């Protein structure tokens, strides 16, 4: 039988099979993925073939279909290891908060670079609109200006108060969407606002770190009643960019990509080369300094801009 992986708990997977039933599955054999060392061979969103076992609604995953795309995060502690967060996505959105907890520009940029590298359209959802002061709104406008200018859609919501939730429903309708972000940014509250029957657990922000407690421990696919699938991921504290060669990195910054061919040298690194169109645009104010800082940080392999 064919099926869609809807939940992963590490060693067991839930698969929605084409007979309409959900099977608890384990893996038989090894699945190789483009020579990436990953901690999980199968991910939520994967299409698989399963063979039922004697016990009702249990099965073995015997085949993994080719993925259209996938998105991975680095295991920060084990730099060579990576975790596939989800596969076969139409789009990915990062839920961003400017306070409680703070989402840095560097973190946003790592998410967007990863999505670009794996060919997944991405955007930003700014949550907790109800908490914004006038100064906060001003910072929000600055953030939005950076990303809208380079083609990333930005949305503003208050998941708690239901503000602008309908626009998010329209965004997710009939699509497979990954939703990600730091713990505590309100992903579960947002999902509950979109689909109240999902009844996901939400947790208060832990005061001591302002990073939020993990309420989602494993990626899970939620079927939306109005059409579409939502993949909720565990809160991410760090996002290490993996599998991208430094000379390819500028391809995943749209504002650099469109200027690269104007550089004097074909192998320009956009760091200190003469005749660099990217540096000229930075100097002219056409590239945001925060984006260029993120480029340098990722280029030099610094994983500290969480």
Positions of the chain with pLDDT under 50: 202-216, 305-306
Which pLDDT does position 212 carry in this prediction? 42
| The pLDDT of residue 11 | 77
Whether 276 has a binding-site annotation, put simply, is yes
DSSP letter at 25 equals: E
Does 183 count as an annotated binding residue? yes
Output the pLDDT for position 203: 46
pLDDT, residue 40, reads: 78
Mind listing the pLDDT tens digit for each residue in 281-302?
999 999 999 999 999 999 988 7
Q: Are the C-beta atoms of residues 157 and 168 closer than 8 Å to each other?
A: yes
What pLDDT, on the 0 to 100 scale, is given for residue 35? 56
Q: Does the annotation list 128 as a binding residue?
A: yes
Nearest of 176, 220, 169, 228 to residue 193 by alpha carbon: 169
Is the distance from CB of 253 to CB of 298 less than 8 angstroms? no
Which pLDDT tens digit goes with each residue over 173-215? Answer: 999 999 988 888 988 899 999 998 876 554 444 443 444 444 4
Regarding pTM above 0.85, the answer is: yes
Q: What pLDDT shows up at residue 280?
A: 98
Q: Domains plus CATH for the chain?
A: 2-66 (2.40.50.140), 73-77+85-204+216-232 (3.40.50.300), 249-300 (1.10.40.50)
Give residue 210's pLDDT: 40
Q: Is 127 part of any known ligand binding site?
A: yes
Q: Comparing C-alpha atoms, which of 209, 208, 205 is closest to residue 186?
A: 205
Provide the pLDDT for residue 205: 41
Reference 179, options 170, 171, 187; nearest CA is: 187
154 is in an annotated binding site: no
User: Is 20 annotated as belonging to a binding site?
Assistant: no
Mean pLDDT, all residues of the chain: 86
């Amino acid at each position: 039988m064919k099926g869609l992986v809807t939940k992963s708990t590490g060693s067991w997977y839930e698969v929605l099979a084409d007979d309409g039933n959900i099977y608890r599955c384990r893996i038989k054999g090894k699945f190789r993925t483009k020579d990436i060392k990953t901690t999980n061979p199968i991910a939520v969103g994967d299409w698989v073939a399963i063979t039922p076992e004697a016990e009702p609604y249990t099965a073995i995953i015997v085949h993994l279909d080719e993925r259209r795309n996938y998105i991975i995060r680095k295991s920060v502690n084990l730099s060579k290891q990576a975790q596939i967060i989800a596969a076969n996505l139409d789009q990915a959105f990062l839920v961003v908060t400017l306070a409680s907890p703070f989402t840095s520009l560097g973190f946003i940029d790592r998410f967007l670079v990863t999505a670009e590298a794996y060919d997944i359209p991405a955007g930003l959802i700014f949550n907790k609109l109800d908490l914004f002061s006038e100064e906060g709104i001003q910072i929000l406008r600055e953030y939005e200006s950076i990303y809208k200018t380079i083609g990333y859609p930005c949305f503003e919501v208050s998941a708690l108060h239901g503000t602008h939730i309908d626009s998010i429903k329209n965004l997710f309708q009939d699509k497979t969407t990954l939703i990600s972000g730091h713990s505590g940014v309100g992903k579960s509250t947002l999902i509950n606002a979109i689909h109240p029957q999902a009844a996901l657990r939400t947790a208060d922000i832990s005061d001591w770190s302002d990073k939020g407690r993990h309420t989602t421990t494993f990626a899970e696919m939620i079927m939306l009643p109005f059409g579409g699938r939502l993949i909720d991921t565990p809160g991410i504290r760090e996002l290490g960019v993996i599998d991208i060669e430094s000379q390819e990195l500028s391809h995943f910054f749209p504002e650099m990509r469109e200027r690269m061919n104007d550089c004097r040298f074909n192998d320009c690194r956009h760091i200190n080369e003469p005749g660099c169109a990217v540096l000229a645009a930075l100097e002219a104010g056409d590239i945001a300094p925060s984006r260029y800082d993120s480029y340098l940080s990722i280029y030099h392999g610094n994983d500290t801009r969480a």
